[in-house]
Amino acid sequence: MIQELLAYQQTDARLRAIEQEISGSEERKKTASAKKFLDGVNETAAALEKKAKDLSALYDSLAAAQKELSDTVREIANAVEGCEDTNAAGYLHKKAEELAGRLSGLESRAAALTEEMNGVLSSFAQLRKKTQAAKEQYNEYGRKYKELKQSREGETAAVEKELAELEKAVDPALMARYKAKRKDKMFPVLYEVKGNMCGKCLMELSMADLNRLKTEEVIECDNCRCLLHK
């Protein structure tokens, strides 16, 4: 039974090579990276939009505070002008200076906000550019990827036909275990025991496993989960 599964695995290696050639191809990688970008673009745009909205609201409230403050500064300046009491004039003058300081603080915060808003706008422009480029890449490499897959279809079908033949000689339960691991991208799936170690990860097998190998054809490595035979 093991010989049949080994023969199956040997042929399966050819299928695996084709799969790897396709999945490792520039065509697939570039198609996938463009798709990933395009899938996330709405989210990125929405985040930028939200940021722009928040900044704009903040700017409005700053501008309102600025206006109110500058009105007050002006009122105080007028009051100082008509004030004959030197002490009161001195106090008002000091108050006006303090408010002017706060006003200039507000102005520099507004300037920083403007700069931040410009940054968001330029991010938007960049996003548009990148989206366009990603669309072009997706179209171009998507087509090439499809062509690459089509060019391997004949070969793939031939190997699959051979595998279907070979499968007939393998115990169905064992075949199912093999296929489940193969689906999980494990390859090779079946290894020979190396002395008392797993042939794949070289982990020492337990006494129980070694005993089981005396009666069972195939066991599973506790460490790397590959299938092991004597």
> CB of 213 within 8 A of CB of 230?
yes
Task: Give whichever of 97 and 184 is closer to Zn ion, judged by the CB atom.
Answer: 184
Site membership for Zn ion, residue 10 (CB under 5 A): no
Site membership for Zn ion, residue 229 (CB under 5 A): no
User: For the stretch 66-98, what's the b/e string if a residue is b when 16 or more beta carbons lie within 10 angstroms of its beta carbon?
Assistant: beebeeebeebeeebeebeeeeeeeebeeebee
By CB under 5 A, name the one of 201, 204, 211, 230 that touches Zn ion.
201
Task: Give whichever of 117 and 224 is closer to Zn ion, judged by the CB atom.
Answer: 224
Stretch that binds Zn ion, among 53-61, 65-73, 135-143, 190-198 (CB under 5 A): 190-198
3-state secondary structure of 13: helix
The 218-220 sheet, strands edge to edge: 190-192, 227-229, 218-220
Q: In sequence order, what are the residues at sequence separation of 6 or more whose Cβ sits closer than 8 angstroms to the Cβ of residue 153?
A: none
By CB under 5 A, name the one of 28, 181, 200, 229 that touches Zn ion.
200
Stretch that binds Zn ion, among 28-36, 43-51, 157-165, 196-204 (CB under 5 A): 196-204
> CB of 10 within 8 A of CB of 189?
no
Distance CA 197, CA 16 (A): 26
CB of 215 to Zn ion, least distance (A): 20
Site membership for Zn ion, residue 5 (CB under 5 A): no
Using CB under 5 A as the binding criterion, the count of chain residues that bind Zn ion stands at 6
Task: Give whichever of 57 and 201 is closer to Zn ion, judged by the CB atom.
Answer: 201
State the residues that interact with Zn ion by CB under 5 A: 198, 200-201, 221, 223-224
